[in-house]
Structure 1
């Protein structure tokens, strides 16, 4: 009779996987001995496996290179990382090893670019795509960047008023992009995205404000939909509407040469995750080429802005089960030694699911449980996996500790929860470990930040 936790995983998934394996009855993530991490640093423990960032970038580059070659596409591809997914210095420094561009969304992002330049991590040739609503501070920072020699900076107009404001403070001719206000899926509360300029307004705006302005070169048309890149009628319909605008613009604006299709590659949130990246990449390149041939225009230089895909699968967090509470005949609550609201805010804010597995005791019997956090908030819980409507873990025993891990948590969680700040019920931020390889491919561990102390938290609160 197969009643072990290992049997459950084996029966449910194709296991081991590219990321996960078992060694000596302990779970490993990309070969990282997680129990050794726990013994050395304790729990709760947040970690970032830096090589995974570069690996995902290189994967996407190869998919697009292959699609361009197989479709005889007459232009190239550029990978762009959107910083809002994770602004940490270790992420940006790893990303920049891969010859990519970066996308910003607010004024303070520009300070990151300047800091990376001052540290010698990049040069003034770096390409910076400036998205988002342009506040006065953001416009001043963009102009400062361009005026100081970062000529590959491309501000993307989010509304028509931004053009005049940029022109007044940028002293040199500069490149420009326009973001299309795409239409949202029918299930959204609103019909059109608040971001960008409407489809019907772009051509008239170009003719009146850009075409005869010698200071400005329209280089990029920017397109993005909130639900990401999916093989759905909605996605293809929005892409083709964007291509129609691109074709009309290209015929009157020969300097236009870049089509930015934004982000949207998904990450693995379940062990049963299925997504054909290579097919989607090839189909996008094929459809763009086919459309351009029909319109008799030259194919655009394709840009993407992958954020969560870049950094998401590099992150994880490990917890210890402190105790089990039985609330009635059926509910068993395993209490973690932290809070989901502090460390994985997406789980309660938007019911996001991550890959979750036990770290140890794989040969033990399993049971159905709920996971509870330490705050006194009823929403601080995790009750199901994306692939099933329940959580199963090795049976709780007071004398034998149980450790669990959540994986592919590297995007957005820290910025949403307010990294280094005050959290619900004063639950502290956990220790954060960076994992890399040395020249011999051995794992190297570095403490990025220790867990928050009571003194730090009270200082923020004014005590």
Structure 2
């Protein structure tokens, strides 16, 4: 009988895969010995595999290069990293090795940009696209960046007041973009995005506030939808509406020459993941070119803002199964030595799934289980894997420690979870390890942050620890 955990994976998925291989009874991720990480640093443990960031950036650049050449597209492609996915210095340092640009969403992002400029990571030639609702500090910081000579900073207008606010603070001419308030997929609770300006209002807005304003040049139209870039009737319909607005705007605004199609490339969330990136890029480029040719306007330069796609597949988390609770005749709860709510908050907040695999004991028999976190919250659990509708892991044995890994967790989880701050039920933040390769291709590891201890928690809470 095929009762081993390795048999289950072989029967369910194509395995091994590019990033996942098996060494005896233990899992490797990009040839990283995960059990060696556990032996060296312990668990729970979070890690970031930095080379994957550069790898994904260059994959996307390659897809767009191929599509532009195939369709003889007469404009450029510009890859922007959406910093809100992960603001950490090690992430930005790795991403910026690859001749990319930056998209920001809040005031402190500009302080990060200024720090990166000071260290030589970016220059005045780097595009800085400033999205988001702009409060006073964000306006002030954007204006300072432009006034200090960064003319490739483009505020993306989100509401009708921002032009006046920016013009009061910026010396001389500056460029802007306009964000389209896209119509959401029917399953959403609301019809139109709260971000940006409605389709029908964009040309009137340009005519009223920008056309005769000698200080402002409209450079870019920005388009983004929450569901991301998917081969659905909804996506193609929204892209088509966006292109109609671009053409209408281009005919009255000669300075408009760029289209930002936002982000939304999906990342691998299952071993059964299947997405034809090259096909989607070629279709997008083809649709833009055909629509512009029919309207007899020049094709725009293309900008994208990939956040999760840039950094998501670089991250992972490893937990130890501490204990098994048999709560009834059907449900076995494997309790991990951390919390899903605090370390992988998207599993709790939006029921997001990540690639989940046992790290060791692949030759042991498997069983069906539920996974529970340490907090006293009934929602602190992870109960199913996509495409299998259940979690199967090697059988729990107290004398044989079991470690499990969650992979492709590198986007949003640390910032949403409040990295370095208070955690629900005061569950400590795990250790975080940076993994890289040296010039010889050998794997190197570095401790980025220690697991929180009681002093960290009590300091945040304001308790006197002088005694």
Partner of 1:383: 383
Partner of 1:249: 249
Uncovered stretches (5+) of structure 1, i.e. residues with no partner: none
Partner of 1:444: 444
Question: How far does residue 188 in structure 1 lie from its aligned partner after superposition?
Answer: 1.0
Matches within 5 A, 1:61-100: 61-100=61-100
User: Using the alignment, how far apart are the partners of 1:70 and 1:119 within structure 2?
Assistant: 38
Question: How far does residue 119 in structure 1 lie from its aligned partner after superposition?
Answer: 2.1
> What is the SS of the residue equivalent to 1:156?
strand
Matches within 5 A, 1:118-133: 118-133=118-133
Matches within 5 A, 1:29-428: 29-428=29-428
> What is the SS of the residue equivalent to 1:313?
helix
Question: How far does residue 123 in structure 1 lie from its aligned partner after superposition?
Answer: 1.9
TM-score, normalised with respect to structure 1: 0.99
Question: How far does residue 120 in structure 1 lie from its aligned partner after superposition?
Answer: 2.3
> What is the SS of the residue equivalent to 1:180?
strand
TM-score, normalised with respect to structure 2: 0.98
Partner of 1:24: 24
> What is the SS of the residue equivalent to 1:278?
helix
Q: Is the 8 Å Cα contact of residues 27 and 360 (structure 1) preserved in structure 2?
A: yes
Question: How far does residue 191 in structure 1 lie from its aligned partner after superposition?
Answer: 0.7
CA offsets per residue over residues 28-59 of structure 1, 9 Å max, x none?
00000000000000000000000000000000
CA offsets per residue over residues 257-295 of structure 1, 9 Å max, x none?
000000000000111011110100000000110101111
Deviates more, 1:404-413 or 1:112-121: 112-121
User: Using the alignment, how far apart are the partners of 1:59 and 1:90 within structure 2?
Assistant: 20
> What is the SS of the residue equivalent to 1:289?
helix
Question: How far does residue 189 in structure 1 lie from its aligned partner after superposition?
Answer: 1.1
User: Using the alignment, how far apart are the partners of 1:452 and 1:387 within structure 2?
Assistant: 35
Q: How many residue pairs align between the two structures? A: 463
Q: Is the 8 Å Cα contact of residues 271 and 387 (structure 1) preserved in structure 2?
A: no
Q: Is the 8 Å Cα contact of residues 347 and 353 (structure 1) preserved in structure 2?
A: yes
Question: How far does residue 124 in structure 1 lie from its aligned partner after superposition?
Answer: 2.6
User: Using the alignment, how far apart are the partners of 1:346 and 1:209 within structure 2?
Assistant: 40
Q: Is the 8 Å Cα contact of residues 431 and 450 (structure 1) preserved in structure 2?
A: yes
Uncovered stretches (5+) of structure 2, i.e. residues with no partner: none
User: Using the alignment, how far apart are the partners of 2:124 and 2:456 within structure 1?
Assistant: 37
Question: How far does residue 323 in structure 1 lie from its aligned partner after superposition?
Answer: 0.9
Question: How far does residue 125 in structure 1 lie from its aligned partner after superposition?
Answer: 2.4
CA offsets per residue over residues 82-127 of structure 1, 9 Å max, x none?
1010010101111111111110001010010011112222223221
User: Using the alignment, how far apart are the partners of 1:121 and 1:301 within structure 2?
Assistant: 24
> What is the SS of the residue equivalent to 2:288?
helix
User: Using the alignment, how far apart are the partners of 1:445 and 1:378 within structure 2?
Assistant: 36
User: Using the alignment, how far apart are the partners of 2:305 and 2:406 within structure 1?
Assistant: 25
> What is the SS of the residue equivalent to 2:251?
helix
